[in-house]
Amino acid sequence: MLGLRSALRCSVRQAGAGSAKFSRSLSTHPLLASAAALYDKYADVALKEYQTNKAAVDQEMARTTRDNALVLFMEGTPDAPRSELSLNVVKMLTQVQAVPLMAIDVTQHPALLGYAITSSRRRRGPMLMKDGQWVGDHDDLLKLYTAGELQTKVGSPKREEGYFKGELPVALY
């Protein structure tokens, strides 16, 4: 069985006249294609489950988003993310000190993922909401982070007092 490392290996294609062009062939690898198909099936089930329980889920999520300024819909928890994208978002939010943060594990019940997909209009998580408005998914957050805008949008100012002035807290990732 192939491991993830071999699945992510770069393939080399000849670009002519002795030069080589490197490209990632991630979407064509059978392991990743089957994982994407499995996620799509789960997302379809999640959307159906959400439609079945729409009133109860909407009521609970309205309360959750009202009571928490930052809500992250992710696979797993901040201490134990279940996907690389969720891990990357947790790292970005830790770096910009996005606190307090409420994380919702969408793998605990399909209706939670269905709610996130329906209301954010994004098919793939993790997805961040601030003050009841969607900030974006992993790709949007990465763009904001690399542009230096994520700090001003959802981050907290660095500590200017105390023994650990300007330091980040210990994180478990």
Place of tokens 């408005």: 133
pLDDT tens per residue, range 57-83: 999 999 999 999 999 999 999 999 998
Q: What local confidence, expressed as pLDDT, does residue 135 receive?
A: 92
Q: Assign 155 to helix, strand or coil.
A: coil
Residue 79: how many CB atoms within 10 A of its CB?
10
Identify the three-state secondary structure at position 79: coil
Q: How confident is the model at residue 8 (pLDDT cuts 50, 70, 90)?
A: very low
pLDDT of the residue at 171: 53
pTM: 0.74
- Strand pairing partners for 166? none
Q: Is the pLDDT of residue 39 over 90?
A: no
CATH for 29-154 is 3.40.30.10
CB 110 within 8 A of CB 45: yes
